[in-house]
Structure formats: C-alpha cells, structure tokens
Copies of this chain bind each other. A is one copy, B any other.
Amino acid sequence: MDTNQIIIKMVLDRWDGSITNFNKILDSLSDEQLQKEIAPGKNRGIYLLGHLIAVHDDMLILLDMGEKMYPQLNEPFIKSPDKAVSQLPSASELRSFWNKQNEALNQKFANLTTEEWFAKHTAVSSEDFANEPHRNKLNIIITRTSHLQYHSGQLVLLK
C-alpha cells in the first residue's frame, strides 16, 4: 500500500464509520420519533434524514458518478427549511432511499482508482484546479463526512 492508498483508506474508513454510526442512531428511532424536533423549535428528525439524502445525492454530481437518485428531495430538504413544505415523503420511504443510496455510493466509491480520487471534482475548473489541487474528489468525502457528523450529533438527541 502506498501513501496515496493509505490516505484514501483513512478518509473512506471515516466516511464508513460515520454512516455506520448514523445507521445505529437511525435504527434505534421509530418513525414516530423521527417526526419530533431534535430540540424545541429546531429541525425534526425526518428533515435531517431527508436533508442528508439530498446532500449525498449532490455528491454523485460533484464526483461525476452519474445522475441524482432522488432529485425531488432538493426542493423540500435543501432549498426549504423544515416545516415549509407540507408534502414530504414518509419516514419509511426516506429510510429506504437512504439505504439504497448508501449501497450505490459504496459501490461507486469502491470502483474509483487512486488517480481518480485525486482528480478534480466537477465544481472546480481545470484552471483553478491547477493552483488548488486539494479541490479533488477525496476532499468531497472529507467535507461531507464533517456534515454527516454534525447532523448525527443532532439526530442522537431524539433517543
């Protein structure tokens, strides 16, 4: 294993560990609990779950891995705050989306070569990337792991 492979493993291990931790929390919560606010006046559990699916769907675009799986979640879970949209998917639908998305992401991540992980993501131009080589695909995993952890710390409050 060379250093590049080691670092990819480090970053993907942290992603996987964060997904596993989130799943443990999610599996411990009932659909009714997901309808509750994580703290008085704050986002509901169901909103956090939909928000994460929508953000991770965006990763497919940033990583140049194909189309979004659930583009209909962008409007209610990224563009709109919680409680602004009345018609949301049910908790059980979102759980199913989440699991299918994680399977798809895992498979796509496993297929990327070392070289591809260090290539630019789609939101940076080739010119900018020449000067800012840290704006690569692996960095998307680093920032989205941070985001996932932030909301995991909130979802756990419903337990």
Interface on A for B, CB 8 Å cutoff? 1, 3-4, 6-7, 9-11, 13-14, 17-18, 38-40, 42, 118, 133-134, 136, 138-139, 142-143, 145-147, 149-154, 157
Measured CB to CB, the closest approach of chain B to A158, in angstroms, equals 9
- For the complex with contacts A6-B133, A11-B142, A150-B150, 16 further pairs of A-B residues with Cβ separation under 8 Å are A1-B133, A3-B4, A10-B136, A10-B138, A10-B139, A10-B142, A13-B134, A38-B157, A39-B157, A145-B146, A146-B146, A147-B149, A149-B149, A150-B153, A152-B153, A154-B154
A7 to chain B: closest residue by CB: B7
A150 to B151, CA, bound (A): 7
A14 to chain B: closest residue by CB: B142
Measured CB to CB, the closest approach of chain B to A21, in angstroms, equals 9
